[in-house]
Amino acid sequence: MSLSRSPSPVPGGGWSSPGLNINSGRTSPANVGGSSVSWESAKMRKHGANGYPSFSTQNQGFFTRHMRRISSSLPRFNSGIGNTYAEREKFEREGYNAASGGRIRSFFARVGRRLKWRILLPLIIICTIIVYYGTHEAPGFVHWWRRSSIGGNGEKFVIILAANVGGGVMEWKGAREWAIERDSVRNKRKYATRWGYDLEIVDMKTKKRYAHEWRESWEKVDFLRNTMRKYPKAEWFWWLDLNTYVMEPGYSLQHHLFNHLDRHVYRDINDFNPLNITHPPTDQYLDADARSPVGDGKINSVNLMLSQDCSGFNLGSFFVRRSDWTEQLLDIWWDPVLYEQKHMEWEHKEQDALEQLYRTQPWIRQHTGFLPQRMINSFPPAACADDSGLNNTRIHYNEKDRDFVVNMAGCEWGRDCWGEMYHYREFSYWLNRNPWELFKEEIVALIWFKLTGQRVKL
Amino acid sequence: MHYAYPARKSSNPPPFRPRSTRLPGLRRSRLRTIGIVAFAIFALLWLFSNPSVPRPDRERVPSGQPPVVIVTVIDPTSYNNAYLKTIRENREQYAAKHGYEAFIVKAYDYDTQGAPQSWSKLMAMRHALTKFPECKFIWYLDQDAYIMDVNKSLEEHILGQRKLEGLMIKNYPVVPPDSIIRTFSHLRADNVDLIVSQDRSGLVAGSVIVRNSEWSKFFIETWMDPLYRSYNFQKAERHALEHIVQWHPTILSKLALVPQRTLGPYTRTDQGDAYQDGDFVVYFWGCAKSGQGSCETESSSYYKKWSSAFGN
């Protein structure tokens, strides 16, 4: 049903049930004041959108984590021989070198200068490498260099990863779900650390709260907004679903995409138009930019970049840029009047809502660009599969071209998410072996196979 | 052999020895230091210099030719032509007097796709932005209204920064009487992109000023979204405006609410603020198409007033 006018937001927050309370538009229940109901998103904003606490007291930093180990390995100094006979006896038995520190010192006193250097030099080299490249957790010099404006401007990019999908009370996460999450997060974390980007992991389990407000799936919007606020220096925000895998961690976003954006982005949806959207709007009251198929044609006016799969827009992997336009889009993306009329048709919720906006609003078209799907969002052969069983060159992952990212879209509907994730993880490792691994596996193992007829894994 | 005594040393030696080279600082030993220091300074300058890269989404600022476009949608199919002629005259003469443009279009020029014809005013506003890309403001004024104070330009009446800041109603429910959404209390006049007023039951969508910008395109196109048009809002685009203003902060944050008498006081007294002598505009809101209380009869006394002001 439709109301004579749209309901106002009710005091205390939220959207009153459409259709249940006819008067809600005019006289919103102002006298309910002080009710315990409050708008969930407002509540969440206060607490930070992801469910993680903003700080933790445990396991923080190197020293708290390794204090026990460090302190137990420090040399012990007895302040003097105790008076008891037992202590004196013990002291004499162990000699001076009881503590390991002392042992090392005496060792160095014994060896010659040349040997000393031979030991120290590799240590220094290893330390330098670690400082340079960083470790798993602590990013090294390369990371900070690539973040800076002279080393690649990595701080302009933030990767937003939707984690904790499918959690909640009703659907327990099994071992496989945890494994998917662990691998996916680790993959993005390594990638972001390597190139000096920021990684923001958002917690999708808040879905339930949004479902309560009829805004399920639109939490993306709030997460984007919060992330934009959290990283004020960043310009581009890359949304990634959980079931994605960066296959080529050696590609930087700048090199892969942003240095030559104008070459990769196409504005005219007629290039590939599975939704059959009539593209340049033709209304006589629109200006030339709005009626042109490519907007104003300048690459700087692209604020949203996404890809299209076989059935239309795909929001598993897309980029938005910080701008006034983006704020307007995020604001308009969910609207109660639009939602009320369309929610039965919007099977993919926020994705369909965006398609709807793209269809009807010229101002959105003028700032939306499309990327060839395989640049940021390759599909495994099982997704978007047609009867032929062949790989679609536009859609499906192709290892010969070393596609950047795989998105196992729709794997939770009857496919094996973990199987695909595992496959692509191992495949990515295999594709990106280092020279030593290549030597082992391509030469040594091959020779061994020729000699003995046995395959070995080195 | 006798040699002459060597010349005596002057007992008044010159106070300073002449310089060995032009620049004493440039001795070879110092050159390296200077080089290093200079390099370091340049390196630091380069590191800390913040090249002002223009924002990628920086907007083009319209030049203001004309400063204001007055948009009016007339409906010749159901209104008397003589009456509509006075409306047209009123807009055009006022525009000519202040260097504005009057953009008067017919309602049925635009296809509202089944929605009430009153939606065509939004298309007319969008059309005005297309036709006058250099204008600073567009002022939509309904057909059934006259500009009364013809000597006052819009800038001195509302749009001047000081003036507008004085007029803005801050922290006030946008939709009377009790919407919890209130106008912003810390909005500056330069950030205002939309100026409307309020009568007793809602926003007065018959007299609206919009600044020409990217935002205005977003705003107008959102306002006329086909799904709003098909929603059967009781008062069509008027309720749609109230809706988007209340639900979308990017719109609310650009909105200035001004007293109704500055933008569109009614001739009748029961619906909102009534016209008083000296007001800028008069709005025959709710007048009938024909017969008793028709717009034509209601407007005739006002017509005399403003046309005498023009000296007709």
Using the Cβ of B140 and the Cβ atoms of chain A, whether some distance falls under 8 Å is answered with no
Ordered DSSP codes for chain B: ---PPPPPPPSS--SSPPPSSS-GGG-HHHHHHHHHHHHHHHHHHHHH----PPPTTPPPPP--SSSEEEEEEE-TTTS-HHHHHHHHHHHHHHHHHHT-EEEEEEGGGS--TTS-GGGHHHHHHHHHHHH-TT-SEEEEE-SSEEE--TTS-HIIIIISHHHHHHH---S-BSSTTT-S-B--SS--GGG--EEEEE-SSSEEEEEEEEE-SHHHHHHHHHHT-HHHHTTT-TTHHHHHHHHHHHH-HHHHTTEEEE-HHHH--BSSSSSSPBP-TT-SEEE-TT-BSSSTTBHHHHHHHHHHHHHHHTT-
Instruction: Look at A5-9, A356-360, B292-296 and tell me which has the smallest mean pLDDT.
Output: A5-9
Domain ranges of chain B: 68-310
Contact in structure between A246 and A191 (CB atoms under 8 Å):
yes
Q: How confident is the model at residue A201 (pLDDT cuts 50, 70, 90)?
A: very high
The rounded Cα A381 to chain-centroid distance in angstroms is 23
Contact A328 B250 (CB under 8 A): yes
Of B130, B234, B244, the CB nearest to A286: B130
Which residues, numbered 275 to 304 in chain A, qualify as contacts with chain B under a Cβ-Cβ cut-off of 8 Å? 283-287, 290, 300-301, 303
The rounded Cα A232 to chain-centroid distance in angstroms is 18
Of B124, B179, B230, the CB nearest to A8: B179
Of B178, B247, B251, the CB nearest to A30: B178
Q: For A287, name the nearest residue in chain B, comparing CA atoms only.
A: B130
Q: Tell me the ipTM for this assembly.
A: 0.81
Contact in structure between B134 and B293 (CB atoms under 8 Å):
no
pLDDT digits (tens, 9 = 90+) for A158-176: 999 998 765 545 566 788 8
pLDDT digits (tens, 9 = 90+) for A225-266: 999 999 998 999 999 999 999 999 999 999 999 999 999 999
Which three-class secondary structure state does DSSP give residue A384?
coil
pTM of structure: 0.78
Contact A363 B218 (CB under 8 A): yes
C-alpha–C-alpha distance, residues A392 and A237, integer Å: 28
Residues of A with Cβ-Cβ distance to B235 under 8 angstroms: 5
Using alpha carbons, list the distances in angstroms from residue A110 to A113, A117, A441.
10, 14, 42
Q: Which fold has domain B68-310?
A: Spore Coat Polysaccharide Biosynthesis Protein SpsA; Chain A (3.90.550)
The residue with greater pLDDT, A278 or B3, is: A278
By percentage, how much of chain A surpasses pLDDT 90?
Answer: 36
Phi and psi at A374, nearest 5°, equal -75, -5
Residues of A with Cβ-Cβ distance to B110 under 8 angstroms: 285
Q: Which residues, 6 or more positions from B128, have their beta carbon under 8 angstroms from its beta carbon?
A: B69, B71, B103, B135, B138
pLDDT digits (tens, 9 = 90+) for A351-386: 999 999 999 999 999 999 999 999 999 999 888 887
Q: Taking the CA atoms of chain B, what radius of gyration do you get in angstroms?
A: 34
Q: How confident is the model at residue A55 (pLDDT cuts 50, 70, 90)?
A: low
Which three-class secondary structure state does DSSP give residue A306?
strand
| Class of residue A402 by CB neighbours under 10 A (exposed 0-12, middle 13-18, buried 19+) | middle
Question: In whole numbers, what is the pLDDT of chain A averaged over residues?
Answer: 81
Instruction: Look at A26-30, A321-325, B2-6, B193-197 and tell me which has the smallest mean pLDDT.
Output: A26-30
Instruction: Look at A19-33, A311-325, B155-169 and tell me which has the smallest mean pLDDT.
Output: A19-33
